[in-house]
Amino acid sequence: MAIIVISRTSYSHGAEIAERVAQELNYRCISKEVISLASQEFDIPENYLRQAIEKAPSILDRFSFAKKKYVAYIRSALLEYVVEDNLVYHGLAGHFLLLGIPNILRVMISATPEERVKVLMRRENVLEKEALKAIEKFDKERKKWAMYFHGKDPWDLSMYDFGVVIGRLTIDDAVTKILNAVKLPSFQMTPELRQNLLNESLAAKVKSDLMNFYHDVEVSVEDHTVIVHIQRSLKQEEAITEDIREILMEMHDVKDVRVDVIPL
């Protein structure tokens, strides 16, 4: 039992590899399903959520905080799938959305420039020059998004357990390498990891709900207690604590709330 997150450059056969790995393991394989679930749960059009995860924020977005809220919705939806275990996720930004959670196998699938161009030319019936331009644009947008939300280059291999370059290795090689890695003890589900995932999922749901009122909250869960971290003047501590507790205690799965006001 394990969770596999496959990040991928465009036109690198990443989706095909993810689907084959899931089939071999009899795991659920998801990508766009996360956007659909977030759309249903938070009543936001799918195209808004898709743009939040695909496009770097504009100046207007940075002032409205809309993209941050939509990304929080997507993370909450993804964690609902993750807690079920036996999962392969190959949607965008999985390595960022699940940052800090241990025992997850994280793989970067890329391809040689020649392979990516060949795939794009075949799929979209475009010339080589157009393919190169499209790939360059996609990579630039992806990097801008990652740097804004996490301050890291999405191609930084230190964030992954390993990377595979199609064109140097075959698709079969990539599938075999992932199947061999996921058997290692480091990637097995444990009771501690399961509880950690449940805590992360609850924290993500709480944060998503609170962001409708406070865009700058962070949330954690410890010993069945939801802890809300927010930066405000200490003069506001009592009023904010009362407001947040009132909002969250209405949620059926929240039993206790603590508000940590961090002085400005």
Domains and CATH numbers, the chain: 3-181 (3.40.50.300), 199-263 (3.30.70.1350)
Distance between CA 178 and CA 159 in Å, rounded? 16
Q: b vs e for 121-155, b when ≥16 Cβ sit within 10 Å of the residue's Cβ?
A: beeeeeeeeebbebbeebeeebeebbeebeeeebb
Check residue 264 and report its DSSP letter: -
Distance from C-alpha of 128 to C-alpha of 145, rounded to nearest angstrom: 26
pTM value? 0.91
In whole angstroms, give the CA distance from residue 144 to residue 48: 18
The pLDDT score that the predictor gives to residue 121 is: 95
Given this model, what pLDDT does residue 59 score? 61
- Mean pLDDT, the chain, rounded, equals 91
- Residue 77: which of 226, 192, 200 has the closest Cα? 200
pLDDT value for 74: 96
For 7-55, write each residue's pLDDT tens digit: 999 999 999 999 999 999 999 999 999 999 999 999 999 999 998 888 8
Question: Which residue ranges in the chain fall short of pLDDT 50?
Answer: none
Q: What is the model's pLDDT at position 175? A: 98
pLDDT at residue 18 in the model:
98
d(CA 71, CA 50): 9
Pairing of strands 225-232, 218-222: antiparallel
Task: For residue 143, give the H/E element and its range.
Answer: helix 128-150
Give the per-residue pLDDT at 109. Answer: 97
